């Protein structure tokens, strides 16, 4: 049982929860995720860790209410409990000095991107962050991203904030103007697919953090399998980050529809 310490609404369907999990707070690194369960009959839901506070023993999760289980989690109030939080799972991001790193996130993907932005900056990189969403209200964590980035580019589909256009337009703008050593992308699979297609054209190494269907999250079930470089990999133990140019995003998109 893990207590909800605080809650903040980023938008109608996107909620930030700060959750008591001292052991995870102490051991997590950027790129790690947790599995969360709400209720004795609940599903196991994988969520990437957005932040951690080792002093208070808490982790921060950003959840978008899409299905019944995520809606239930988003409805929790401070003082209530998540039934289970287990982690940190997956391999941590390979943080080192690359040079110029473009971190691009779409929707709630910005939340797990934030610790990577922070760590990349701390490692001495020039960090350009590209945040994208459908509309202004869905841009999240902008102040925090600004705090740790050298530059922030905002893209909205409807042009209600920042520039009108897709995340790829923002990334290409940077690529056209300066040498980019690494692109990190987290967001909807379809977005990451197009980011990968773009950066492949320019031959820029790109890491994508995949958000597949999972059950146990510890390598046991294989629900999360993806094809990377022609080989089957498990996102939970081999990932969640992979070389985006080698990921079969079409197959991943297909498999994400398994229970639709």
Which parts of this chain interact with another protein (CB under 8 A)?
A: 23-24, 27, 37, 39, 41-44, 68-69, 83-89, 215-216, 218-223, 225-227, 232, 234, 237, 251, 254-255, 257-259
CB of 126 to another protein, least distance (A): 32
Cβ closest to another protein, residue 20 vs residue 172: 20
List CB contacts of 199: < 8 A, sequence separation 6 or more: 171, 175, 183, 205, 206, 244, 245
Tokens at 133, concatenated: 């969403």
CB of 24 to another protein, least distance (A): 6
CB of 79 to another protein, least distance (A): 20
Cβ neighbours, 10 Å, residue 203: 8
CB neighbour class for 42 (10 Å; exposed up to 12, middle 13-18, buried from 19): middle
CB of 22 to another protein, least distance (A): 10
Cβ closest to another protein, residue 203 vs residue 258: 258
Cβ closest to another protein, residue 154 vs residue 253: 253
CB of 84 to another protein, least distance (A): 5
103, 208 in Cβ contact below 8 A? no
- CA distances (Å), origin 15, targets 63, 167, 233, 248: 5, 22, 31, 30
Tokens at 15, concatenated: 């909620």
Cβ closest to another protein, residue 140 vs residue 224: 224
Cβ closest to another protein, residue 154 vs residue 223: 223
């Amino acid at each position: 049982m893990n207590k909800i310490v605080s809650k903040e609404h980023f938008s109608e369907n996107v909620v930030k929860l700060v959750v008591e999990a001292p052991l995870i707070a102490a051991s997590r690194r950027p790129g790690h995720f947790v599995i969360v369960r709400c209720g004795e009959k609940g599903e196991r839901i994988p969520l990437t860790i957005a932040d951690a506070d080792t002093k208070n023993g808490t982790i921060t999760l950003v959840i978008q209410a899409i299905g019944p289980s995520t809606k239930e989690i988003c409805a929790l109030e401070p003082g209530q409990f998540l039934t289970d939080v287990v982690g940190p799972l997956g391999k941590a991001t390979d943080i080192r000095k690359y040079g110029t790193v473009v971190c691009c996130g779409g929707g709630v993907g910005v939340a797990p991107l934030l610790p990577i932005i922070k760590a990349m900056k701390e490692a001495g990189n020039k960090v350009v962050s590209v945040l994208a969403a459908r509309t202004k209200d869905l841009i999240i964590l902008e102040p925090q991203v600004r705090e740790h980035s050298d530059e922030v580019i905002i893209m909205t589909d409807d042009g209600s904030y920042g520039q009108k256009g897709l995340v790829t337009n923002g990334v290409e703008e940077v690529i056209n103007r300066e040498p980019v050593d690494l692109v990190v992308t987290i967001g909807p699979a379809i977005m990451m697919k197009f980011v990968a297609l773009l950066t492949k054209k320019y031959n820029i190494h790109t890491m994508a953090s995949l958000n597949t269907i999972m059950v146990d999250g510890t390598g046991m079930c294989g629900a999360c399998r993806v094809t990377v470089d022609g080989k089957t990999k498990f996102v939970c133990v081999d990932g969640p980050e992979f070389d985006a140019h080698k990921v079969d995003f079409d197959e991943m998109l297909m498999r994400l529809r398994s229970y639709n």
